[in-house]
Structure 1
Amino acid sequence: MTVRQAPAKGATRAKWTDKAVYAAGAVVWRVIDGKLRILLIHRTKYRDITLPKGKVDPGEMLAETAVREVHEETGIRVSLGVPVGVSRYHLPSNKQKVVHYWAAEATDEAVRASTFVPNREIAALEWVSVKKARARLSYPVDLEILDFFANLVDDGVLRTFPVVALRHAKALPRSEWDGADAARPLTERGRRQADSIVGPLRAFGVRKIVTSDAVRCVQTVKPLAKALDRKPVKTEKISQDAWEDGTDDLRSVIGRRVRAGKPAVICSHGPVLPGILSEIALATGTMQGSYISSAADLEPGAFSVVHLSASHPGSGIIAIETHVPQV
């Protein structure tokens, strides 16, 4: 996964090595009586106070790990917001542990639905102010994550929604297809990629699905649509054929998604993605830079999550992160 802060605050790339242990978690927050509170966990075995997190399971992508671990440790189901940093430290085994964190709002409904009870792993949960969290957290690496989170609060951009730009999964090459280009289907690997991105996309709370009407795009979002029980909106306005003919209308599609202010995924084609990312920047008043081009340079099945302010979408892109399927 690559995380890019916008408009140009640099990039942090996760270095995947056999010597590292990867994990993911979240700074879970809510507003109680008009006051911001974040969730700390008191761990039974280690007798410490930390943020909810856990190791990546085989086949998982980091975003779904974060959501799963928060739920397992707290009973609260969340959707991920803005990335808030990566902590690195060495384990007793001398392996490096790398933990990716996101901000994640806990809705009142999600908190009420929690069935948490103290157990062998987690002794207690505690909602505290950011100031109290600084005093209670046991580890300096957690404080670094908290400081990044606090900057979002100070900037007034904590509550966000994602617009996800998704490149269709691996399709049959043109050289192996005799029919119309728009009818090219996914390969077996492409179908596995389409299945593998369902969990990560759901982790960001995606509910709306907009896709090019090309078969390879429709097949890419089919597993997600089934999991969400949602019907995708198919449109030629973001298709490669329309883009090549000069008849595309990316602006209207992107503008509608930004105005809606709801989590959405837009599935299109490699050549079209730079235009889609550019239109998101234009629609939100964001200065364009190399990070926009990088976010559009996606492998088949990969996607970039563009985080926008829920209260002021025109205030610019808050962050962009890119995820690549491991199949």
Structure 2
Amino acid sequence: MTDTAVYAAGGVVWRMVDAKLHVLMIHRTRYRDVTLPKGKVDPGEMLAETAVREIREETGIRVALGVPVGISKYRLPSKRTKIVHYWAAEATEAAIRASAFVPNKEIAALEWATPKKALKRLSYPVDIEILENFLKLVDEGILGTFPLIVLRHGKAVDRENWEGADTDRPLTSRGRKQANAVVGPLLAFGARKIISSPAVRCVKTVKPLAASLARSIDKSPLISQDAWEEGRSDPRTVIGQRVRARKAVVLCSHGPVLPDILSELALATGTLRGSYLGSASALETGAFSVAHLSVDNPGSGIVAIETHIPKV
């Protein structure tokens, strides 16, 4: 990010009505326009958090993010550039029923429409472009997706400064801040299940997320660094189980193990391996990559992959 730009995030919110795809548009009171839900990043937020928060604030609908569908850039009257990141986001019937939206001073109305009608109704070319990006995925048979999230543990005490067993190395103060910082973004992608290396630095990294979800942490030595160093690691088994489950999951592991995890994910989904996998696995401490897979056909390959780094 740059200091001169204004960052925002939002989504193409969708649902099925009588087996037909509909997308959500908002009618803004002040501007008298029709646009996609979005809003500016709050201090300390990561973009994924912003997207989910703004969608809920503007529509009352709680969503989990799907695949990224583009970035729009345009010049503001202040001459600064506004950069908006968008994700696809399914609105479940339960989430729609739970919405407490009423017209207000910012949003006059919500409108669900077929994509064809939405393309005619949207006020801005940048919104039309984002919707067209989303529709390209739909045309490819990709709509419902689930994320497999690979998280590197937070910053731990260095080996040379630790006298105990390597697996017992704790997080530093920065590592603990990273563990807290990723909770919001991980929740934004619908994280529900947590699988972690048994190493203290991994378990402590996902502990705040587990507390937020009120869920336990499944500890798997198959993705531990000890097992990797001894040639006993087995990310293939873990990845195979998670791809078959077709549900959102967070795998917390170690820098040296991450390339194997991403490589096994590519093999399990029939994805051509390329340099992007190296980038997605070369994570800083506390960072994570999200691989989006098709719910209907996870063997069709990784739909999209993105990396997020906490601001601490």
- State whether TM-score is above 0.5: yes
SS where residue 109 of structure 1 aligns? helix
Q: Which residue of 2 aligns with 1:148?
A: 133
Q: Relative contact order: is structure 1 or structure 2 higher (C-alpha 8 Å, sep ≥ 6)? A: 1
Within the candidate set 75, 94, 101, 1:116 is matched to: 101
Alignment of 1:308 onto 2:293: yes
Q: Which residue of 1 aligns with 2:170?
A: 185
Whole-Å separation in 1 of the counterparts to 2:243 and 2:154: 24
* 1:246 Cα deviation from its structure 2 partner: 0.1
Whole-Å separation in 2 of the counterparts to 1:109 and 1:186: 38
1:37-88 per-position Cα deviation (integer Å, ceiling 9, x unaligned)? 0000000000000000000000100001000000000000000000000000
Q: Which residue of 1 aligns with 2:267?
A: 282
Within the candidate set 298, 305, 309, 2:283 is matched to: 298
Within the candidate set 99, 105, 129, 2:114 is matched to: 129
Q: Which residue of 2 aligns with 1:5?
A: none
Whole-Å separation in 2 of the counterparts to 1:18 and 1:250: 40
Whichever residue aligns with residue 61 of structure 1, its letter is M
Q: Return 5+ residue gaps in structure 1 as ranges.
A: 1-15
SS where residue 82 of structure 1 aligns? strand
Q: Which residue of 2 aligns with 1:175?
A: 160
* 1:175 Cα deviation from its structure 2 partner: 1.0
Whole-Å separation in 1 of the counterparts to 2:224 and 2:106: 49
Q: Figure out how many residues of one structure are paired with residues of the other and give that number.
A: 312
Q: Which residue of 1 aligns with 2:234?
A: 249
Within the candidate set 26, 33, 37, 2:22 is matched to: 37
Whole-Å separation in 2 of the counterparts to 1:17 and 1:192: 23
* 1:170 Cα deviation from its structure 2 partner: 0.4
Q: Which runs of 4+ in 1 moved over 6 A?
A: none
* 1:158 Cα deviation from its structure 2 partner: 1.4
Q: Which residue of 1 aligns with 2:217?
A: 232
* 1:212 Cα deviation from its structure 2 partner: 0.2
SS where residue 289 of structure 2 aligns? strand
Whole-Å separation in 2 of the counterparts to 1:84 and 1:289: 21
Whichever residue aligns with residue 188 of structure 2, its letter is A
Q: Return 5+ residue gaps in structure 2 as ranges.
A: none
Q: Which residue of 1 aligns with 2:195?
A: 210
Q: Which residue of 1 aligns with 2:185?
A: 200
Whichever residue aligns with residue 101 of structure 1, its letter is Y
Whole-Å separation in 2 of the counterparts to 1:136 and 1:235: 50
Whole-Å separation in 1 of the counterparts to 2:234 and 2:259: 14
Backbone CA RMSD of aligned residues = 0.4
Whole-Å separation in 1 of the counterparts to 2:143 and 2:20: 13
SS where residue 320 of structure 1 aligns? strand
Q: Which residue of 2 aligns with 1:83?
A: 68
Q: Percent sequence identity over matched residues?
A: 69
SS where residue 81 of structure 1 aligns? strand
